[in-house]
Structure 1
Amino acid sequence: MQTVHDMVQSAKKEIQEITLDQADAAIHDADVLLDVREPDEFHQGHLAGAINVPRGILEFTLDNEPSLQDRHQKIVLYCKTSGRAALAAQTMKAMGYQYVQSIQGGFDAWHAAGRKVVTPSLPDFE
């Protein structure tokens, strides 16, 4: 029986994982930057320009959202530490997406490196 760790390691052998140094150029060239974390994680901070499609509904969103149906778009994915993004990239590859990359280390590595993070602010009611 496989553990989730085994599944992530297996997925990482099948996908293209990029380093933080490669991520800036990949994001610049991407058609879509997908954050596959949960909405509460996304709202605590995310990469500029990212759209949130949680891993749990990824396949359904890809199948039903016209802007995400082009299998030839360049897509960069990330999650908290790269496990969910690896599984998402593997799934997208199986669905026929040709150009999917996952950021190694995910949001945590991005943030720890001091890279820009967008943190939505709530209005001040005072």
Structure 2
Amino acid sequence: MAITPHDLVVEAKSQIKEVATAEAQSMLGKRVVIDVREYDEYAAGHLPGAINIPRGVLEFKIGMVPECANKAGAFLIYCRTSGRAALSAVQLQRLGYGNIISMAGGFEAWNTENRPTEKPEPINFE
């Protein structure tokens, strides 16, 4: 019997640690923050200091990001609502990253609670 994407997320969430947005906010500056949303989502606003590595290329790109070189480091991961982050956290654990925390509710919850956000500077071609 085939499972649904929702089933995959539920299974992933049973294998990871999730924290609420308030606790995630207290972790800023203490963990590498990874936004696994697509770049256009990230560009519209993201957690302060977050590094964008989209879910679709995470396993291939994470090793190229200097801040993510230490697999024993502390990481906070999030997406729009927390599904992609949960799936990503499981994959990172499989790759040997041992201290991954996912933010429950994702950026939608963060934004709804009016927590601080950043936007990348637009590229100036002048």
TM-score by length of 1: 0.90
Q: Which residue of 2 aligns with 1:114?
A: 114
How far 1:65 sits from its partner (Å)?
A: 3.5
Cα deviation 1:74-103 (Å, max 9, x = unaligned): 000010000000000010011111100000
- Report if aligned partners of 2:28, 2:48 keep a CA contact under 8 Å in 1: no
**Residue ranges of structure 1 left out of the alignment (5+ in a row):** none
Q: Which residue of 1 aligns with 2:34?
A: 34
Q: Which residue of 1 aligns with 2:20?
A: 19
Q: Which residue of 1 aligns with 2:74?
A: 74
User: Which letter maps to 1:35?
Assistant: D
Q: Which residue of 2 aligns with 1:47?
A: 47
Aligned residues: 124
- In structure 2, the CA distance between the partners of 1:119 and 1:64, relative to structure 1 (3 Å rule), is closer
SS at match of 1:21: helix
Cα deviation 1:49-68 (Å, max 9, x = unaligned): 00100000000012333442
How far 1:118 sits from its partner (Å)?
A: 1.2
CA RMSD in angstroms, aligned pairs only: 1.8
Distance 1:90 1:70 in 2: 17
Distance 2:121 2:99 in 1: 33
SS at match of 2:37: coil
Q: Which residue of 1 aligns with 2:97?
A: 97
User: Which letter maps to 2:63?
Assistant: D
User: Which letter maps to 1:34?
Assistant: I
> Which structure 1 residue ranges, 4+ long, deviate > 4 Å from structure 2?
121-124
- In structure 2, the CA distance between the partners of 1:67 and 1:23, relative to structure 1 (3 Å rule), is closer
How far 1:4 sits from its partner (Å)?
A: 0.6
Distance 1:23 1:91 in 2: 20
Distance 2:123 2:70 in 1: 36
How far 1:13 sits from its partner (Å)?
A: 0.3
**Residue ranges of structure 2 left out of the alignment (5+ in a row):** none
Percent identity (aligned): 41
Larger relative helix fraction? 1
